[in-house]
Amino acid sequence: MSGKKNVDLLVGAQWGDEGKGKVVDMLGSDVDVFVRFQGGANAGHTVISDGQKVVFHLLPSGMLYSGKLCVLGNGLVIDPEQFLAETNELFQRGQDKARLAVSPHAHVVMPYHRMLDKLQEEARGKGRKIGTTGRGIGPCYVDKYSRSGLRIEDLIDPDVLRERLTYILEEKNQIFTKLYNQKPLPFDEVYEPARKWGEAIAPYVDDIRAILRKAVDEGQHVLLEGAQAALLDIDHGTYPYVTSSSTSAAGAFTGTGLAPNDLTRVIAVVKAYTTRVGEGAFPTEDFEEAGEKLRANGGEFGATTGRPRRCGWLDIPALKYSMELNGADVIALTKLDVLTGMGGIKVCVAYEKDGEKISTWPTDYRVLDNLKPVYETLPGWDDDITNCKTFEELPANAQSYVKYIEEKLKTPVMLIGVGADRNQTINRGM
Ligand code: GDP
Ligand code: IMO
Ligand code: MG
């Protein structure tokens, strides 16, 4: 029974959109089970294979492979409409339903969560907005922790759904009418679609903890795919400008029921520069030409909301923090090609604030604002690298940049992205 464990955990190391989807897809041929364990349809994971582009919001990025199991863990918040739209699209492409398993304990994002997300953002007003994706993520996790949530298992039992939704909606309608001056939601308008979603999702529901336990014990290759990233973590990120789940490595255990010692490797996905969508501190953001150029060259527009991403340089203290938090064993460095033709490449190695030098990532939000980055500038390169297949084929300055990152973060860079396609990846032994 007990083969050698083979469980990879892949996490974003910055503020999301590092290219996690591409890396999962690229590693996928060797994977047996793909798992999402936290977050919801706020994620946008892009996979480009043979010129075909697919953006996954809820489903694991391994869904394009045939015959492999894809799991949605209990830590997720699942918007049933989004789930059904995404699965239907894939089934129309010929994917097999049988290999998708959904935890009965995942929470359901209801329409009132999406409404509350928007109303709360509006109420926060200028200067306090988080810049959420509007997907109802925060309000759904609030309900989970206040024990007023609906789980997938509630959705698929019409009687339980009716009973729980009755009192949940009463409370929500008090909030809508009294706090936000909105009309109340009629029960049937919420219940009837929810009941139908339950019917449609029921065939996928399974004991994912037991399935994963068996897969791990048999030595199957399990790939846990994080959404968002360490600096958006509810506990360890730039609170309150974070998402509402545990996005760093620890979330993989609560979000699946696997144990910490099941893990064999943590892969941190690091973009070769930095981007952020939404509000919050971003010390290395570049408001000048370089930021514009990174956005244009990197196609830095949100995969979920289409918003332009804020762009800037690599931030070493932030990444050191992220490596520690995640226990990163290896780095997948993405979008190195975007730095081609950028001239000198700036890297932040410390910060200054009020004349004081700070060399570690400050977790105090009062310190985080208005940090002045201290940069080192590395020489750039102009040669196109999008067809490079080996590290040695990269221009010397690109190689030096990779080595610099490895030295600063004391973590080996095992994959290097040189283009958006699955094949545009230099594999240094993963
Ligand atoms: P995720 O949320 O971490 O999966 O990342 P997104 O999909 O939101 O954003 C990453 C974007 O960069 C997508 O458009 C990818 O197709 C693209 N991408 C990923 N890796 C590379 C790379 O190495 N080079 C280039 N040029 N694009 C990449
Ligand atoms: P992937 O998985 C980048 C950001 C939002 C906002 C904050 C809170 O594609 O990397 P939320 O809707 O989660 O309550 O928004 O988090 N955010 C992301 N930023 N990539 C993501 O996912 C994100 N998911 C949420 O922009 O600042
Ligand atoms: Mg994304």
**Cα dist from 258 to 208, 234, 265, 388, whole Å:** 10, 21, 14, 38
Ligand nearest to the CA of 228: 2
Indicate whether 168 pLDDT > 90. yes
Indicate whether 258 pLDDT > 60. yes
315 catalytic per annotation: no
At residue 1, the pLDDT reads 46
294 lines ligand 2 (CB under 6 A): no
At residue 98, the pLDDT reads 67
At residue 95, the pLDDT reads 77
Percent of the chain scoring above 70 in pLDDT: 99
Q: How high does pLDDT run on average in the chain?
A: 96
At residue 239, the pLDDT reads 96
Give the mutation target among 14, 15, 17, 22 for probing the ligand 1 site: most ligand atoms within 8 A of CB.
22
Q: Where are the beta strands (DSSP E) in 17-120?
A: 33-36, 45-49, 52-56, 69-72, 77-78, 100-102, 107-108
Summarised one tens digit per residue, pLDDT across range 174-228 is 999 999 999 999 999 999 999 999 999 999 999 999 999 999 999 999 999 999 9
Give the mutation target among 48, 334, 388 for probing the ligand 1 site: most ligand atoms within 8 A of CB.
334
Tell how strand 330-334 and strand 314-315 pair up.
unpaired
417 lines ligand 1 (CB under 6 A): yes
Average pLDDT over residues 144-161: 98
Summarised one tens digit per residue, pLDDT across range 314-359 is 999 999 999 999 999 999 999 999 999 999 999 999 999 999 999 9
Which atom of ligand 1 sits closest to the CA of residue 18?
3
Contact between residue 254 and residue 245 where contact means Cβ atoms under 8 Å apart:
no
Q: Of the ranges 110-114, 126-130, 208-212, 392-396, which one carries the lowest mean pLDDT score?
A: 126-130
107 catalytic per annotation: no
The pLDDT-based confidence of 2 (bands split at 50, 70, 90) is low
Summarised one tens digit per residue, pLDDT across range 49-80 is 878 899 999 999 999 898 899 999 999 999 99
At residue 304, the pLDDT reads 83
Strands lying side by side in the sheet with 100-102: 100-102, 69-72, 33-36, 221-225, 6-12, 265-271, 330-334, 413-417, 425-427
Ligand nearest to the CA of 300: 1
Percent of the chain scoring above 90 in pLDDT: 91
